[in-house]
Structure 1
Amino acid sequence: MLDLAPLRYEDGGMTTVPEQVRLPAEWLAHRYDPGHDAIHFISVDRDRRRRAAFLTDAELPDLGDPLIIRRVDLAPALPDQRVNFIFHSAYCCSTLVANAYDRPGRAFSLKEPVLLNDLVGWRHRGGAPAQIRTVLQDGLATLARPFEAGEVCVIKPSNVVNGLALAMLADRPDAAALLLYAPLEAYLGSIAGKGLWGRLWVRDLLAKFMKEGLVDLGFAPEDIFLQSDLQVAATGWLAQHAVFAKLVERWPMRVRTLESEVLLARPMEALTAVDTLFGVRATAAEREAVVQAVFTRHAKSGGDFDAEARKADQRAAAQNYAEELAMVVAWADKVAHSAGIALIAPNPLLSTQ
């Protein structure tokens, strides 16, 4: 039993850890507090992580008070613990792929850990880049603690974290990354189908990308203010694909791209290729079991899911928003051509020939 009492601190009456602490993997590194240079841990077992769509407060509402430990009091990371990443541009089955890496003894996954979002927020509030880089290194090492020896860690950050992707891969020379995306028209249809919530979300996301300096498409801020909701969505999608292209160019052997529709059409091939990329051992029978267990369940709701159902939703969006989608896709194609961004991402994991 872990003795929590000596590990807490409170303002005014600071209680520090007498020795460096290595917490078991059940203690998820959940939040980062730059004011105290401390990490907040919450106890989340493997089954609860599996059932949660994301590792957020909304999905984990009843876990009690966090265990708060200063970063200096944490034991050094375990040597040779491999971390891989699933970076994505949203609505592209990234949570489904992350779920495929909950394999006891082989791999475990972390779906949108909030600690990484906290570092992005710290950047936006003017945090020093060198300090943020150091905390990012320690944060990834702390997140990567395995449940069982030999497990490979797979982190699927929120796409608001994509601005940190270059630093993550630079600091982790053994890491590989899958860049997952939906075709532009399918992505825009998903946003349109979400109604007002989806349209507000893409505006909030683009505002954050602009703070990160990720939007270099020839638009002045006032130009973006005048764009329609789906134009804003396309601008954010293109900005992320510009980041993806830079990652591929720098690390072509470690970074591969995958379109969501190819993933769903060829799940066994895709899983085999991602396993190889991530260094996860598995037999063909084990992969087939993962495909049957994961690719038939909706990654967020837990209900039934299949590729045909997704296509039906896409057809409905294409019909309901046909004029708007056609206009924005044509506009985005011109913007992409002007900015030198490929709508089909380079260095695909699977050949489409």
Structure 2
Amino acid sequence: MGKVSTIASDPLWLPHRYDPAQDAVHFRHTPRAAHGAATFLTDEYLGAATPRIVGRAAALAQAGPAAPLHFVLHSAFCCSTLLARAFDAPGLAMGLKEPVILNDLIGWQLRGGDGRQIAGVLDGALRLLERPFGPGEAVVIKPSNVCNAMAPLMLQFRPKSRALLLHAPLRVFLGSVARKGMDGRRWVRELLVKQLKQGLHGFGYSGEDYLQQTDLQIAAMGWLAQHALFARMAAQFGPQVRCLDSDQLLASPAAAMAALARLFDVPLDAEAIVAGPIFSRHSKFGQAFTSEDRAKERAAEAAHQEEIEKVAIWTDAVAKAAGVPLQLPQPLLG
């Protein structure tokens, strides 16, 4: 079903997985409608499919033209999926929500893979992901936040790309973790383990120190590690990146979408997008979701407010000691 040249040049064949043992890419047929229906580009949301396995070199040789490529980089629980959905705009752009092939490279890195090899494969993976879905369309990738450690390399490989560095304010992030119960608390500990292996924690804490911290302290340290990375990226890449927090986005959605469209040079109708279903439905679950629903979610965090406030004050002290600015430079708005 399909020759190598057809698969590798057709964006409807998603470069889904990478196998370092075979140096091969697993493609799965993924129509645009399937992208729109899926929360993330994982088998859980896309469903079962038989992949076509193509050698990486052969795939790259047949990849065809590249679209303008941009990124929504995020530190979780901050409306990044909503923004990726906003760039599913036929004729203008396509948003890719957490392609697993990038996670595969992180997994390879965490298993001790050779950095030079991984860098070469990353460049190739971006080359396959940036195939335009239609004439003149840009591609906007929202990687999983576990891929943030590779984000500087992505921008070095693509100097014409632009990136939004998106985060939730610390207290909002901590509330989201607390509201998710055991799943949220376990996730932040798993993230910490990966970040430690990626060298993202320069705060002077040992593994034993982290074991003595509460779940929300661990959550805050994972947030702070990403915040420090974003601050370094803003200093390194300057106008190539812009920073935004989710409260600013939700307070001024039309202004934020218009500014982001300008950053990515994609002529979206910001007012129409904000007035449409993307901003009125839950970005992950699809049901109607209003500002009142969001307020109810945050009200459910009331039982955790004392701990959230104590952890936020503690994190502010850690950030000051480490020289991490809680207000990021290069703002998207203002």
**TM-score (ref. length: structure 2):** 0.96
Tell me, yes or no, if structure 1 residue 153 matches structure 2 residue 139.
Answer: yes
Tell me, yes or no, if structure 1 residue 206 matches structure 2 residue 192.
Answer: yes
Name the residue aligned to 1:192: 178
What is the distance in 1 between the residues matched to 2:167 and 2:283?
A: 16
- Aligned match for 2:50, one of 65, 68, 77: 65
Q: Can you list the C-alpha shifts for 1:250-289, whole angstroms capped at 9, x where unaligned? A: 111110111101101111100100001011023xxx3222
The answer on whether the counterparts of 1:90 and 1:182 sit within 8 Å (CA) in structure 2 is yes
What SS does the corresponding residue of 2:28 show, helix, strand or coil?
Answer: strand
The answer on whether the counterparts of 2:191 and 2:222 sit within 8 Å (CA) in structure 1 is yes
- Aligned match for 1:347, one of 303, 308, 330: 330
The answer on whether the counterparts of 1:25 and 1:147 sit within 8 Å (CA) in structure 2 is yes
Tell me, yes or no, if structure 1 residue 225 matches structure 2 residue 211.
Answer: yes
What is the distance in 2 between the residues matched to 1:80 and 1:43?
A: 19
Tell me, yes or no, if structure 1 residue 255 matches structure 2 residue 241.
Answer: yes
The answer on whether the counterparts of 1:81 and 1:144 sit within 8 Å (CA) in structure 2 is yes
> How far 1:80 sits from its partner (Å)?
5.1
Tell me, yes or no, if structure 1 residue 133 matches structure 2 residue 119.
Answer: yes
- Aligned match for 2:95, one of 82, 88, 109: 109
The answer on whether the counterparts of 2:95 and 2:141 sit within 8 Å (CA) in structure 1 is yes
- Aligned match for 1:297, one of 267, 271, 281: 281
Tell me, yes or no, if structure 1 residue 325 matches structure 2 residue 299.
Answer: no
How many residues were matched structurally? Answer: 332
The answer on whether the counterparts of 1:203 and 1:233 sit within 8 Å (CA) in structure 2 is yes
> How far 1:292 sits from its partner (Å)?
1.9
Tell me, yes or no, if structure 1 residue 169 matches structure 2 residue 155.
Answer: yes
Name the residue aligned to 2:221: 235
Name the residue aligned to 2:319: 336
Q: Can you list the C-alpha shifts for 1:173-215, whole angstroms capped at 9, x where unaligned? A: 1000001111000100000000001000000011001111111
Please say which of residues 196-205 and 339-348 is displaced more in the overlay.
339-348
What is the distance in 2 between the residues matched to 1:50 and 1:341?
A: 37
> How far 1:315 sits from its partner (Å)?
3.1
Tell me, yes or no, if structure 1 residue 27 matches structure 2 residue 10.
Answer: no
> How far 1:306 sits from its partner (Å)?
2.5
Structure 1 residue identity aligned to 2:322:
A
The answer on whether the counterparts of 1:21 and 1:73 sit within 8 Å (CA) in structure 2 is no
- Which of the pair has more CA radius of gyration? 1
Counterparts of 1:77-92 in structure 2, within 5 Å, are 77-79=63-65, 81-92=67-78
Structure 2 residue identity aligned to 1:346:
P
Structure 1 ranges of 4+ moved more than 6 A? none
> How far 1:310 sits from its partner (Å)?
1.7
> How far 1:316 sits from its partner (Å)?
2.7
Aligned-residue RMSD, C-alpha:
1.4
Tell me, yes or no, if structure 1 residue 269 matches structure 2 residue 252.
Answer: no
Check 1:149–1:315 CA distance in 2 against 1; reply closer, same or farther (3 A cut). Answer: same
What is the distance in 1 between the residues matched to 2:137 and 2:105?
A: 26
Tell me the percent identity: 48
What SS does the corresponding residue of 2:9 show, helix, strand or coil?
Answer: coil
Unaligned runs of 5+ in 1: 8-18
What is the distance in 1 between the residues matched to 2:14 and 2:255?
A: 32
Q: Can you list the C-alpha shifts for 1:31-59, whole angstroms capped at 9, x where unaligned? A: 00000000001111101101110001111
The answer on whether the counterparts of 2:65 and 2:132 sit within 8 Å (CA) in structure 1 is no
Check 1:169–1:88 CA distance in 2 against 1; reply closer, same or farther (3 A cut). Answer: same
Structure 2 residue identity aligned to 1:89:
S
**TM-score (ref. length: structure 1):** 0.91
> How far 1:77 sits from its partner (Å)?
4.5
The answer on whether the counterparts of 1:265 and 1:307 sit within 8 Å (CA) in structure 2 is no
Name the residue aligned to 1:14: none
Name the residue aligned to 1:124: 110
What SS does the corresponding residue of 2:43 show, helix, strand or coil?
Answer: coil
Greater helix content: 2
